[in-house]
Amino acid sequence: MAYNASRNVFVTASGRYYKMYNGTYKNPAGGYWNSLERVMEEKSFSNFSEGHITQGIDCDDDYIYAVLTGDGEDGVSDSGYGYLVISTWEGKLVTTCRIPLPNGETSEIETENIFHIGNTFYVVYNTHDSSNVGHVHRFTIEGLSRG
C-alpha cells in the first residue's frame, strides 16, 4: 500500500491489478471508517501482469510503481525475474523494465516491496538461495519525466 498526499489517495496492489481508495479515513465524528471508499475501478498493470505476481507498490504525484515477479505459469521462462512496471495515475503504461540483478547475486531475485526517492528505487528482495532473504537493492532509472 502507498499513499499520495497531494491526491489524498491510497493505492494498493491486488493480484494483477491496483486499486485506489479515498485517503480520508476519519469519519465526521472523529472515529475511523472500517473501510475506505474506492475512488476508481481497479486497473490492470497492463497485460504484462499475466503470469506475474504483484509484490509491492509505491507512488508519487506522477506515477504508480509496482514490482512483479515472474511465476513461470504463462509459458514464459521468467520465474524468479523481478520487474518494475510504471503506470500513470490514469492507468496508462509508461514502461516495464527488468530489475537489474544486484551486484554479487548469481541467482534471480524475488521482489517483495518497493519505495523510491526521486529516480532512485529501493527494492526488498529474496533470492532462490534461502540464506539470502530480506536484502535491499538500490538502482536508478534515468529519464523519468516529472509533471
Q: Which residue has the cell 509496482?
A: 66
pLDDT digits (tens, 9 = 90+) for 38-61: 666 655 555 445 556 677 899 999
Coil, strand or helix at 47? helix
Coil, strand or helix at 63? strand
CA 93 to chain centre: 13
Phi-psi region of 143 (alpha: psi -120 to 50; beta: other; left: phi over 0): left
25 close to 31: Cβ distance less than 8 angstroms:
no
pTM of the model: 0.77
Looking at residue 75, its pLDDT comes to: 47
Looking at residue 116, its pLDDT comes to: 92
pLDDT digits (tens, 9 = 90+) for 92-109: 888 888 777 767 666 667
Q: Which residue stretches of the chain have pLDDT < 70? A: 15-16, 26-27, 32-53, 70-80, 102, 104-108, 128-134, 145-147
1 close to 11: Cβ distance less than 8 angstroms:
yes
